[in-house]
Structure 1
Amino acid sequence: MARSLPIVSAAVVAASFLSPLVLRADGQLAEHSGPGGNHFVQRAAKLMRQHASVSAKFRQTIFLLDEHLLGNGSYLQQGYGTKAQLRFELKFQLGDRFVSRQQISDGQFLWLRHDTEAKTKLGRVNLQQLSQAFHQGTSQQAERELGVVPLPAGLADVVQRLDSNFDFESPRPAVLQEEKVWVLEGRLKLERAAELLTDEKEQFHEGDPRGLQSLLPHLPAGVVLLLGQEDLFPYRIEYHREPPDLNGGRPIVVMQFFDVRLDGKIDPLVFSYQPNDVDKLEITDRTQEYTQRMAKNFGFLKRQR
C-alpha cells in the first residue's frame, strides 16, 4: 500500500535552508533508551533498501562564506538490491550556467553523469560484476543481515556511508514542521580520518577535534541526521565543518526531502537511460572503484593498496 509523507511543503523547505534549523522538543515524546545512534543509522539504511519504491523531491544547499548555492532534485527508487532501478537527479544554477548530476540504474548498469558548461563526465558500473564480488567476499550471515545485495547508489548508500564514516550519539526526539523525528549528531570517525590522512598521520592528534578539522578543510567533521520516528526515512542531512556540538553553527551542506511517497507505483520507463549524446562521450568503467567502496562500507574484501 502506498504511503504519502509530505513532511513539509516546498515553500517551507526552501525557507528553511536560509535560516537556522529550528527543532522543538516535545514533552510528550519519549526519550530513546536502547541501542546507540549508529544502530539507528544502520536500521535506516536497511529499511531504505527494503521499500518496494521511493519517490521524493529534495533541495540541496551549499553554503560558501556569505553566499549559498541552491539545487533542486528528484529521487526515484524501485525494486531491490543491485536489480533495483534508480533515478537521482540534481541541478544547480550558477548565474546563467547550470551544473547537474545524475545517478541512473536500470538494473543492469549504474550510470553516473556530471554535466558542467565545460565538460560532461559519464561513468558506468556493471552491477552483475559488483554483485558477484559481493557474494564472493561476504559471509552468508552478513548477506542475511543485509537482506539484499546493496546498490552502491541512492539514499540507502548515502545513509550507509554516514554509518561507515561517523560515530553517532544516541538519538533524541524532536519535532520538525509538526513531524516527529529522531535527531542524531555524528562526528567523523578517528580511524576514518587517519585513513584519509595517509600523508599527515604524524600530525594527527585524536583528542583535538578542532585540530582534526584543520587537517581536513575539505571534509565535514560532523553531521546531523533527522530520521522520521515512524519510518526512519532520512528527511534531512546536514554536513558541518566542525562537530555539531562545538559551535552549533551553520552547516556547509544541507539536503532536505519532501513530498515523500513510499511503496507506490512508478513507471519503469523513467529508469531507462538513453542519452542522445552517449556516442560522443567517453564512458569510464567505475566498477572496480565502486566495488572497493562497497567493500569498505560493508566490511568485505580487503582494500587494495
Structure 2
Amino acid sequence: MGLPSDTAASVPTGDDLLGRTVTTLEGCRWITAEINYQVDLFGRQLSGKGDYREERSGPIPKVRMDLKIPLGGDRMGTMVQVCDGRYLWTYRRLFDEKLTRVDMRRLAQALDSGSDRTVVSPLTCTIGMGGVAGLLRELRNHFAFEVVGQADLRGQRVWVLHGRWLPERLAAVMPDRKDAILRGDKVELGKLPGHLPERVLLFLGVEHLFPYRIEYRRPAAGRDEDSFQPLNTSDRPGVTMEFLWVSMNVPIRESDFEYRPGDIEVSDATESFLKRIEAETKRGAERVGP
C-alpha cells in the first residue's frame, strides 16, 4: 500500500472526513458486508470470517455479526453478536461456550441521564452497540485523527487516517501519569492496559466514505514511539476489522436480527457493563476536576 503525495489544499482534515463518514453511515438504513476479524488474544492470533448486517430504523440500531474462527486442526470456533433493538446478545464458542446479553434500553437510559462527561472506552463499545457509525463516533471521542494520505486497499482508493489519543482521554486510562499527560509530556504508551490500542488506523473509501478497514495498533517491541509509521507492517494490530463486498441501503429481512438462545444458560451482563461505564466516567471526571 503506497502513499502518494498530496497538496495540503487538497487534503481534508481527519476530523472532517470522520465526521462526514459518521453522518453518511447514520443516514444509511441498511448495511451488509463480509467481514474479516482478527484479534490478538493472550498472544495468540485468532482470525475469523463471516457476515455483517445492520439496520437503522429505530433509536437503537439492529446489528448482526456471525464469525467462524479456525482454532487449529478440525476445530472451528463461533462468535455471534446480535442487537435486536432491545438486547445485545453475544455468543462465543471458542475454548468454552458462553452467552451474554446487555439490556440496550437500560444502557441508553444510563447514558442519556449521565453528564456530558459520561464516556465509553473504544474497546468497551463494540460494533454491536451502535453499528459501524456508533463505533466510529466513540473512536472520534477518544482519538485525534490526522490524514496520512491516500492508498489502494483491495483495488479501491481509500483515505488513511491515523488516530492518537486525546490527552484527556489518555489521562483517564493512565491515571498514574495524568499530570504528565495533561502537561503535554511524553509518556510511554507501551504501559497502557494490554486491551487498549496505542493508536488507531482507519481506511475510509474515497468514493463512499465507508470504513473498509479499522486497526487498533500497538508498536513492535523495542521500537521508539516517535519512529511510528502508520503503515509499518512490523506493528502487529491488536484488533483488525475489514469489510468486503459492502452493500448499502439494500433491504434486509427483519428475521435476521432475531436471536433465540435455545437451552444455553444466559448471563446478564447489563449491571457489570453499567458499572464499567460508571468507573470510566468517574476516572474521566477526576482527571479534569469540577
Regarding TM over 0.5, the answer is yes
Please state if 1:277 is matched with 2:228. no
Counterparts of 1:13-162 in structure 2, within 5 Å, are: 22-25=1-4, 32-34=10-12, 36-62=13-39, 68-96=45-73, 97-127=75-105, 129-133=106-110, 136=113, 152-162=129-139
Higher relative contact order (Cα pairs below 8 Å, separated by 6+ residues): 1
1:103 offset after TM fit, Å?
2.3
Q: Please, which of 128, 146, 166 is the counterpart of residue 189 of structure 1?
A: 166
* 1:187-237 Cα shifts (integer Å, max 9, x gaps): 12222221112355478685325x122344442211111001122110011
Q: Distance in 2 between matches of 1:55 and 1:109?
A: 20
Letter in 1 for 2:47: L
Q: Count how many residue pairs are aligned between Structure 1 and Structure 2.
A: 260
> Hey, what does 2:242 align to over in structure 1?
256
* Contact 1:31–1:172 under 8 Å retained in 2: no
* Contact 2:60–2:130 under 8 Å retained in 1: no
> Hey, what does 2:211 align to over in structure 1?
234
**Percent of aligned pairs with the same residue?**
28
1:259 offset after TM fit, Å?
1.0
1:68 offset after TM fit, Å?
3.7
Cα gap change, 1:199/1:101 in structure 2, threshold over 3 Å: closer, same or farther? farther
For the residue of structure 2 that corresponds to 1:160, the secondary structure is: helix
1:54 offset after TM fit, Å?
0.1
CA RMSD of aligned residues (A): 3.6
Letter in 1 for 2:204: L
> Hey, what does 1:246 align to over in structure 2?
228
Q: Distance in 1 between matches of 2:275 and 2:78?
A: 21
Q: Distance in 2 between matches of 1:102 and 1:159?
A: 21
* 1:41-98 Cα shifts (integer Å, max 9, x gaps): 2332232222110000111223589974321131101123434321122332222444
Letter in 1 for 2:262: N
Q: Distance in 2 between matches of 1:53 and 1:290?
A: 32
* Contact 1:49–1:80 under 8 Å retained in 2: no
* Contact 1:125–1:286 under 8 Å retained in 2: no
Q: Distance in 2 between matches of 1:281 and 1:171?
A: 44
Q: Please list every run of 5 or more consecutive structure 2 residues that lacks an aligned counterpart in the other structure.
A: 117-126, 220-224, 285-290
TM-score (structure 2 length as normaliser) = 0.74
> Hey, what does 1:18 align to over in structure 2?
none
Q: Distance in 2 between matches of 1:64 and 1:86?
A: 24
TM-score (structure 1 length as normaliser) = 0.70
* 1:121-174 Cα shifts (integer Å, max 9, x gaps): 4122242x44445555589xxxxxxxxxx9833212221222122111135233
Q: Please list every run of 5 or more consecutive structure 1 residues that lacks an aligned counterpart in the other structure.
A: 1-21, 140-149, 300-305
Q: Distance in 2 between matches of 1:176 and 1:76?
A: 22
> Hey, what does 2:151 align to over in structure 1?
174
For the residue of structure 2 that corresponds to 1:77, the secondary structure is: strand
* 1:30-51 Cα shifts (integer Å, max 9, x gaps): 96444x3123223322322221
1:276 offset after TM fit, Å?
1.3
For the residue of structure 2 that corresponds to 1:182, the secondary structure is: strand
* Contact 1:98–1:117 under 8 Å retained in 2: no
Letter in 2 for 1:57: E
For the residue of structure 2 that corresponds to 1:170, the secondary structure is: strand
